[in-house]
Structure 1
Amino acid sequence: MAEVQQLEKGDHLLFTDWRGDPDELVTDDGPTIAELFAAAARRGVLVKGLLWRSHLDKLAYSEEENRNLGETIREAGGEVLLDQRVRRGGSHHQKLVVLRHPDRPERDVAFVGGIDLCHSRRDDAEHHGDRQAVRMAGAYGPTPPWHDVQLELRGPVVGALDLTFRERWCDPAPLDQHGPISTAMDKLKHADLHADRMPPQPPDPPPAGPMTVQVLRTYPAMRPRYSFAPLGEQTVARGYTKAIKRARRLIYLEDQYLWSTEVAQLFAEALQANPELHLIAVVPRHPDVDGRFALPPNQVGRQQAIDLCKSAASDRVHVFDLENHAGTPIYVHAKVCVVDDVWCSVGSDNFNRRSWTHDSELSCAVLDDTVDEREPRDPAGLGDRARRFPRELRLALMREHLDADDDKDLLDPVSSVRRMTEAADALRDWRDGDRRGPRPPGRLIPHSTERLPWLQRVWATPAYRLIYDPDGRPWRDRRAGRW
């Protein structure tokens, strides 16, 4: 909020999002997202936004909310477009805010990760939930606890993220590509269907630290083609593939879904090839939806992925979910991966085929030049040496999940696995033992999946593959099995 409030006339505020709720409070006392961005536009800030046009609210999506946020900003002098340049059944899932200061480039900043500008996202480490909540599966209660991660980025990478926004903004393809009815509805509601010209992109800001940040993206192969990615783009998938193949001791990930046998196969092959490699995955306890028809396809994909990983190394795959201190499950929306404390990534993409091929996604991989001198100095044994930021990211997340205020047994991959497993087992046993005695510290519980009855699997598996986790690659890449 503070960065936006400091923007002045002539500065730029650019954002993309999957969902934007105009009334979402930024702090307990306000302002709302709409008020914050509209106030910037009234000060003379260039405010431009791209929101996924979304499906109907009746289908538990956010078409009206996205439209209303755009209208509020437009009335203040900004411009927000509802963008449906996606494959059928796909979405724009990127979460990006870029703040540029053409006369003060050293102040440029961007935010990338899993957090949308919408309800349920404003939670903290206590995980009591956002009082402005979206409707979710009943197990999460009226204000679902929410776990997420976002990066604040400075330096030349801000220019690369500015370019990511501008490529979509300037794409000449029509905003709405899915039929005359939706186009007619947009016209009746006076939607802005044409992007105004952008001013020239400012030069990249100067270096701001010792980290190298690589922008990774997903765009599907589609028609009409993206002008900036005619065959689509799968650099998210390729970045993860290279990092996972180099893993030797510990892959730590947090993910909303962890679906897809294609993605799980990468983990399975790495586990088979490296007998000292462990995989830690933190996932939601339950899907975000209930229902006879919506729930089984969500369950079958994760079950298949976890089963495939465990078939490769059952004793080295550790899957956990989270609950707050009141016992309410925490919905894990984060998309984080740390490999051997050397490489890490935070973004909007989940570990599934949809995120790696079908929707638009945005992630940032980070390699810190600063070597971490704490033992083990080279966990992978490849000469890469542990780096400060990836290690600190992993430790910060583990400390939160363990209610820990120290790094005891967390630096070494094997001992960190042991400490997390022991804490999770203790909390599970306390919960299953009628909660007798003091509650053990931590929020981790061993995650369990249930095999669906065969009748449900018969229809849920194809529904999962075709609807929930589709493939957006060109047909030649699908046939060759490459990203």
Structure 2
Amino acid sequence: MRTEDWFLAGAERGNDACRLPEWCEGNRVVAHVHGSAYFARLVDEVRRLGRGDHLFFTDWRGDADERLCPGGPTVGELFCDAARRGVLVKGLMWRSHRDELSYSEEQNRQLGDEVSAAGGEVLLDQRVRRAGSHHQKLVVLRRPGAPERDVAFAGGIDLCHSRRDDATHAGDPQAVPMSGAYGDRPPWHDVQLEVRGPAVGLLDAVFRERWEDPHSLDTHNPIAHLRDLFFRADLVADPLPERPPDPPPAGDARVQVLRTYPAIRPGYPFAPRGERSVARGYAKVLRRARRLVYLEDQYMWSPHIAELLADALRRSPELHLVVVVPRHPDVDGGFALPPNQVGRLQAIEVCHRAAPDRVHVYDLENHEGTPVYVHAKVAVVDDTWACAGSANLNRRSWTHDSELSVAVLDAAFARDLRLELLREHLDRDPGDDADLVEADGAVRAVEAAADALDAWHDAGRTGPRPAGRLRRHRPERMSKLTRSWAVPAYRMLYDPDGRPWRDRFRHRW
């Protein structure tokens, strides 16, 4: 298993300004399935930090009052207490749009204000493309006096409402309003990685690159700049101490950090023409796929990404594609819903045309029959390469917003992650997975479970409910008239392209 066969090497990243190592060995990676598991670990690790230690974080949305455990602390309390103890707390939050547009500007500003008042520093960062966002979800904890205890968390889980769910999928008591199909407490499925070893140094460097970007935090937004001046927002990043040496080896996993940065003006110093290593990393590994590609994704809605999956299916006649997606978008309404649906419908059609009998798309429900919102961004290829992060399988995540994913080359980790996820979806106990190890057996098991649950629903939900939570995903069909306006709206607003024009014309990620 040669590293360079699976990871991007040399110029394959496509960003000559990148100063990160191509990859690093000697890491230990643990997957935390669900926000409750991740939040509990985060609380434990942050409470152990002392004076002079570092707490760096980036996020798309942060709610200061989100309880990380049933009895607290909240996000604000945890980070503020750390700052008062003398921990160096620095954060980068997406500046976001007004709350009236269903975004989170006020929430992000509130978290920043609380942490700053306690002695930390949180900046609202709008150095993005127009209509873009900073979507990275990262927490880095460094202990300069004890580097062997350094740890980082990266994945799909924001420090905000709706994320603290567990395997029962009863939902977070502090919920964000969503489509009515998910109820008042939307069940939420997500994954965050805990990383130890030299890769913590790579993730620390990712934070520092953004923090030290000398360009204005309010790029392209003079109104926001005036509002920040009025509220006396912190618009200048204080210097960081020198980056500590990388932690010592902690395990056997090889790790590569993948990112998306769009092409903007002025360009990022660390990515003047952008970086699309998330896209390139997936494209490379999909060319190697032979037996099973297992995906969990919030969107999986771009036909451009679906073409890569279709090519893999045509290239390898024994390859199966198993995908777990949300049953419904997170929004509803006559205008917002069709553009959210049409991209996924197109993507599934592209894959089905390539191999109709080897494409298996499912969604989830809890035991009460409420759909589970799949927010995870997870891929496992041939139980060898695994990836989790903030980047979805759509063009926006691969070109337009800032994203961060962690790719792991470790057969044991990749297999164990896939089996853990499948056991939950099939209502299996730990260790009850002998028939799931091989690709063909796993496909038979998930098909049988989904068929049984679908049949139970079709029969009026009479008799004992079959084990499992998987349902066959049945995307909404739409008329030619609806497609005629939904497709352009989807491409322009929901799934825009952040590549330079010459790369678009060459169809190059």
**Deviation digits for residues 15-51 of structure 1 (CA, Å, limit 9, x no counterpart):** 0000000000011111100000000000000000000
The corresponding residue for 2:426 is 402
Whole-Å Cα distance in 2 between the matches of residues 457 and 56 of structure 1?
29
The corresponding residue for 2:371 is 329
1:237 matches 2:279: yes
1:107, distance to aligned residue in structure 2 (A): 0.4
1:260 matches 2:302: yes
Gaps of 5+ in 2: 1-42
SS of aligned partner of 1:365: strand
SS of aligned partner of 1:87: coil
The corresponding residue for 1:205 is 247
1:419 to 445, 451, 456: 445
The corresponding residue for 2:354 is 312
Whole-Å Cα distance in 1 between the matches of residues 46 and 433 of structure 2?
35
1:455, distance to aligned residue in structure 2 (A): 1.5
The amino acid that maps onto 1:414 is D
The corresponding residue for 1:16 is 58
1:391 to 388, 404, 415: 415
The corresponding residue for 1:181 is 223
1:408, distance to aligned residue in structure 2 (A): 3.0
Question: Residues 23-62 of structure 1: matches in 2 within 5 Å?
Answer: 23-62=65-104
**Deviation digits for residues 76-132 of structure 1 (CA, Å, limit 9, x no counterpart):** 000000000000000000000000000100000000000000000000011000000
Which stretch of structure 1 is more off in the superposition, 176-185 or 40-49? 176-185
1:189, distance to aligned residue in structure 2 (A): 1.3
1:454 matches 2:484: no
1:469 to 478, 483, 495: 495
1:450, distance to aligned residue in structure 2 (A): 2.1
SS of aligned partner of 2:435: coil
TM-score (norm 1): 0.96
Whole-Å Cα distance in 2 between the matches of residues 291 and 156 of structure 1?
47
The corresponding residue for 1:347 is 389
1:478, distance to aligned residue in structure 2 (A): 0.6
Question: Residues 24-423 of structure 1: matches in 2 within 5 Å?
Answer: 24-368=66-410, 387-405=411-429, 406-423=432-449
1:162, distance to aligned residue in structure 2 (A): 0.3
The amino acid that maps onto 2:344 is R
The amino acid that maps onto 2:222 is P
How many positions carry a matched residue from both structures? 465
SS of aligned partner of 2:436: coil
Instruction: Point out which structure has higher relative CO (alpha carbons under 8 A, 6+ apart).
Output: 2
Gaps of 5+ in 1: 369-386
1:278, distance to aligned residue in structure 2 (A): 0.3
1:179, distance to aligned residue in structure 2 (A): 2.8
TM-score (norm 2): 0.91
Whole-Å Cα distance in 2 between the matches of residues 408 and 328 of structure 1?
29
Percent identity of paired positions between Structure 1 and Structure 2: 68
1:409, distance to aligned residue in structure 2 (A): 1.2
Whole-Å Cα distance in 1 between the matches of residues 245 and 336 of structure 2?
47
1:451, distance to aligned residue in structure 2 (A): 2.1
Whole-Å Cα distance in 2 between the matches of residues 23 and 353 of structure 1?
33
**Deviation digits for residues 191-227 of structure 1 (CA, Å, limit 9, x no counterpart):** 1111011111000000100000100000000001001
Whole-Å Cα distance in 1 between the matches of residues 255 and 439 of structure 2?
24
1:415, distance to aligned residue in structure 2 (A): 1.1
Whole-Å Cα distance in 2 between the matches of residues 301 and 431 of structure 1?
27
Whole-Å Cα distance in 2 between the matches of residues 29 and 43 of structure 1?
21
1:449, distance to aligned residue in structure 2 (A): 1.0
Whole-Å Cα distance in 1 between the matches of residues 204 and 221 of structure 2?
30
* TM-align CA RMSD: 0.6
The amino acid that maps onto 2:483 is R
Whole-Å Cα distance in 2 between the matches of residues 282 and 246 of structure 1?
21
**Deviation digits for residues 360-386 of structure 1 (CA, Å, limit 9, x no counterpart):** 000000012xxxxxxxxxxxxxxxxxx
1:432, distance to aligned residue in structure 2 (A): 1.6
The amino acid that maps onto 1:445 is R
The corresponding residue for 1:374 is none
The corresponding residue for 2:468 is 442
1:180, distance to aligned residue in structure 2 (A): 2.0
1:442, distance to aligned residue in structure 2 (A): 0.5
SS of aligned partner of 1:477: helix
